[in-house]
Structure 1
Amino acid sequence: MKCLLAVIGSMAFAGLATTSADASEWGCEVLLCAASSNPSWRGVASCHPPMEKLISAMKKPGFSWPTCPEGGAGSPGYERYAECPTGWTPTDGDDQHSMSARGQSRCMRAVNQCKGGQRFFGDSHDGERETTTDGVTRVFSQTNSCSFTEYKARPLRSDPYYFDIKDEQTSQSSRFWFSLDR
């Protein structure tokens, strides 16, 4: 009886080891496919099975990213928003009083159209907002009608996930962006 329990126990352990090895292999496949950039993983036929498996697994409760210890990468990072255009800075809302949990989903910049130090007061724009046809919201200064702050939606990243992979020879990390859109 003890012998039978030992055999069953070792079989169960062997099954766990295989599962762990399979998970590591899958994690390394995901890492290699995610790091593929030209073409992306969608353009590499052998990447479809591991990435489709990942996308399906993400929908299940208790999901955790498959890892690749050999590749030095765990779970990926995620940044939904791209950088704001030059001259714009990330912000939470459409004015200094508007805070939200959108994760700096807007871009803003200050605009001063006053010429030669000239300032106009009491203009009909005082404290008003207007939205341009391209979706930029202008909030006019309450004390100076020729200066205003502009806000617009922050661009979304086409590839919001990333892995940072360290080159062991140079000790430099490279960031590889990817998307899980099919």
Structure 2
Amino acid sequence: MRRFSIVVAALAAGSFTVSSPDAKADDASWGCQVLLCAASQNPSWHGVPYCVPPITRLIAAMKKPGFDWPICHEANSGKPGREDFEECPAGTTVGYSLQGDNGWRGEPDQCIKTVDVCRSPNLRSDATKSPGQTIRRSFGNDDTGCVQRIATPRPRRADPYFFDIPNDTGVKERFWFNLNH
């Protein structure tokens, strides 16, 4: 809740200092309303009655051709970013599932770990494979078949969108949000 308060204060200071003393959040530009609501963390925008209309309007506008994200110029944050997937665990790298007949790369939806199964006896059998894992053997120059690439599905983020909003010292803080109803 503290981070939300900081964003509200920053937006209020930037948006309403030249406004009348009776300025309200409803008087903010649509871009600032969206930013303010997206930055709401606990509760998220879903639980803030003020936020439902501007975010619902945003979701409807996104479906129309030529959509431009509403910007809150006073907050100096620009358009949001989007990252659909969580980071891969330590010791793994991001991998792509192959899609289509010609093998073009799809989404970065895999976490890949390369292991030497000859040095890790508990990984020698497919019986130890977890649900969702894919194991590919790679035959190197020695033809032992000891190297395997184990792919696990990369977790999707519940909140894939984010705004990087500068705080009062200019350091950007990341606020994650979703646009699910």
TM-score over 0.5 for the pair:
yes
Task: Give the 5 Å matches for 1:22-171.
Answer: 25-93=29-97, 100-115=104-119, 132=129, 134-142=131-139, 143-167=143-167, 169-171=168-170
Q: Which amino acid aligns with 2:179?
A: L
Q: Which has the larger radius of gyration?
A: 1
CA offset at residue 140 of structure 1? 1.5
Q: Which residue of 1 aligns with 2:20?
A: none
Secondary structure of 2:113's aligned partner: strand
Q: Which residue of 2 aligns with 1:6?
A: none
Aligned length: 148
Identity of aligned residues (%): 44
Q: Which amino acid aligns with 2:70?
A: P
State the distance in 2 between where 1:103 and 1:28 align.
32
CA offsets per residue over residues 122-156 of structure 1, 9 Å max, x none?
A: x9x9xxx9994511000123222343110122111
State the distance in 2 between where 1:102 and 1:43 align.
35
In structure 2, the CA distance between the partners of 1:23 and 1:72, relative to structure 1 (3 Å rule), is farther
Q: Which amino acid aligns with 2:152?
A: K
State the distance in 1 between where 2:78 and 2:113 align.
37
RMSD between superposed Cα atoms in Å = 2.9
Task: Give the 5 Å matches for 1:5-20.
Answer: none
Q: Which residue of 1 aligns with 2:14?
A: none
Secondary structure of 1:47's aligned partner: helix
Secondary structure of 2:104's aligned partner: coil
Secondary structure of 2:136's aligned partner: strand
Secondary structure of 1:56's aligned partner: helix
Q: Which residue of 2 aligns with 1:179?
A: 178
Structure 2 gaps of 5+ residues are: 1-25
Secondary structure of 2:94's aligned partner: strand
State the distance in 1 between where 2:132 and 2:106 align.
18
